[in-house]
Amino acid sequence: MNDDEEEIMNIDDPRVPDAIRAHGRRFRKPARFVVDVGNNEYVLSSEDGEVLDIVCLK
């Protein structure tokens, strides 16, 4: 799922925007990992690797 340029970050990493962290907490299985795919787009995934959402910040 991740290109060489994309880093999988823990949701608590300070580089993850607060709005993304807050959104990730709303799921039944909270988001644990975030991939910044560029252009203010983020992929949220759970502890077991399930993709929960793809988010674009405006």
| pLDDT, position 8 | 95
Quote helix, strand, coil % in the chain, to nearest 5: 10, 35, 55
pTM over 0.95: no
| pLDDT, position 2 | 54
Which segments of the chain have a pLDDT < 50?
A: none
- Give Cα 58 to chain centroid, integer Å: 16
